[in-house]
C-alpha cells in the first residue's frame, strides 16, 4: 500500500470527526477496499479487502467514480445497493507523481432527508387537495349568497305586489260602501213611492247584499294578505340572517385559503431545501 493511502487510512477517525452527523468512512484503491470505519447507526455490508467487482453496483458508487474521474463527487443514492438511502462525498487521493491511487469517501444516512422530502411532497399534495376543496366551498358559498340576494329581492317584490293588492281591495271596499249607501237610498225611495217601487226595491236589496258580500270578501282577503305579509317579513328576516352568516363564512374561507397558500409556499420551500 502506498504511503499516502496508509496515511489516509490512519486518519479516518479524524476525517469522520469533521462530520456533524453520524458518518461512515471508506478508503479504497483501484482494486479493493483498504479502509472501512462504520458509523454508529449507518453500516454497509462491506469489509476491508473486498474487491470492487464483488461489491454490488460498484460502478454506480461515488467512490469508484471518483477513482476513475479523479474528481471530487457528492451524490445521493437510494437503498438499492446497500439497503439504506445515503449521501456520499468522495475525493480522489493523489500520489507524489499526481496520479490517482485511491479515494476517500464520507457517507451519511439520507433516511431522514428522504423521509422529509417524501413528507413534504405528501403535505404539498394534501394542501393542494384541501385548497381545491376550499375553493369549491368558496364558490358554492358565493352561489348561495347570490341565490339569497335573489330570494331577498323576490321577497321585496312579493311585499310590493301585496301592497298593490291591498290598494285594490281598499278601492273595492270604497265601491262596496258607496254601493251599499246607494242601495239603501234606493230602498228608501222605493218605499216612498209605494207599489210602483217594489221591483226597484228588490234590485236595491240585492245590490246591498252584493255590496256587503264584496266588503266582507275584501276584508277576508286583506286578513289573508296580512298573514302573507307577516310570513314574507319573517322569511326576509331569515334570509338577511343567512346572508350575514354567509358573508362571515366567506370571510373565514378567504382567510383559510390564504393560510393554505402560505402552507403550500412553505411546503414548496421545504421540498426544495430537502
- Beta pairing partners, 103: 28, 92
Domains contained in the chain, CATH given = 3-109 (3.30.450.20), 115-273 (1.10.287.950)
The model carries a pTM of 0.47
CB-CB neighbours of 25 under 10 Å: 22
CA distance 116 to 76: 14
Q: Which three cell numbers stand for residue 117?
A: 422530502
Q: Detail the DSSP E strand segments found in the chain.
A: 23-29, 33-37, 73-77, 86-94, 100-109
How far apart are alpha carbons 76 and 112 in whole angstroms?
13
Please report, in tens digits, the pLDDT of each residue of the chain (274 residues total).
688 999 999 999 999 988 888 899 999 999 999 999 998 888 888 999 999 888 888 888 898 999 999 999 999 888 887 888 888 999 999 998 899 999 999 998 876 666 666 676 777 777 777 777 777 777 777 777 777 777 777 777 877 877 777 777 777 777 777 777 776 676 776 677 676 666 766 766 777 777 777 777 777 877 887 787 787 778 777 777 777 777 776 666 667 667 667 776 766 666 655 5
Residue 162, CB-side half-sphere exposure with 13 Å CA sphere: 19
What's the farthest any 2 CA atoms get from each other in the chain?
155
C-alpha cell, 254: 378567504
To 10 degrees, the CA torsion angle through 217, 221, 226, 230?
A: 150
Q: Answer whether 64's CB lies under 8 Å from 50's CB.
A: no
Strand-strand pairing, 73-77 and 86-94: antiparallel
Nine cell digits for residue 206: 240585492
Contact 145, 242 (CB under 8 A): no
CA distances from 99 to 25, 70, 87, 213 (A): 22, 9, 26, 123
Pull the grid cell for residue 167: 290598494
Amino acid at each position: 500500500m502506498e504511503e499516502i493511502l496508509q496515511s489516509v487510512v490512519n486518519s479516518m477517525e479524524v476525517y469522520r470527526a469533521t462530520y456533524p452527523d453520524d458518518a461512515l468512512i471508506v478508503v479504497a484503491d483501484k482494486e479493493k477496499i483498504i479502509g472501512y470505519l462504520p458509523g454508529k447507526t449507518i453500516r454497509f455490508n462491506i469489509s476491508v479487502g473486498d474487491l470492487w467487482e464483488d461489491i454490488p453496483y460498484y460502478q454506480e458508487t461515488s467512490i469508484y467514480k471518483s477513482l476513475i474521474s479523479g474528481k471530487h463527487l457528492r451524490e445521493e443514492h437510494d437503498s438499492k445497493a446497500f439497503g439504506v438511502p445515503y449521501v456520499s462525498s468522495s475525493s480522489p487521493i493523489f500520489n507524489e507523481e499526481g496520479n490517482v491511487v485511491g479515494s476517500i469517501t464520507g457517507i451519511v444516512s439520507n433516511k431522514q432527508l428522504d423521509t422529509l422530502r417524501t413528507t413534504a411532497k405528501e403535505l404539498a399534495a394534501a394542501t393542494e387537495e384541501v385548497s381545491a376543496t376550499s375553493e369549491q366551498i368558496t364558490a358554492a358559498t358565493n352561489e348561495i349568497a347570490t341565490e339569497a340576494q335573489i330570494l331577498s329581492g323576490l321577497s321585496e317584490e312579493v311585499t310590493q305586489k301585496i301592497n298593490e293588492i291591498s290598494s285594490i281591495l281598499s278601492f273595492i271596499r270604497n265601491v262596496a260602501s258607496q254601493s251599499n249607501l246607494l242601495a239603501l237610498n234606493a230602498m228608501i225611495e222605493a218605499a216612498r213611492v209605494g207599489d210602483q217601487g217594489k221591483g226597484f226595491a228588490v234590485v236595491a236589496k240585492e245590490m246591498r247584499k252584493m255590496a256587503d258580500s264584496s266588503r266582507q270578501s275584501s276584508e277576508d282577503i286583506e286578513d289573508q294578505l296580512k298573514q302573507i305579509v307577516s310570513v314574507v317579513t319573517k322569511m326576509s328576516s331569515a334570509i338577511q340572517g343567512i346572508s350575514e352568516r354567509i358573508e362571515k363564512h366567506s370571510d373565514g374561507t378567504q382567510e383559510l385559503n390564504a393560510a393554505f397558500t402560505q402552507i403550500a409556499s412553505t411546503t414548496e420551500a421545504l421540498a426544495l431545501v430537502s
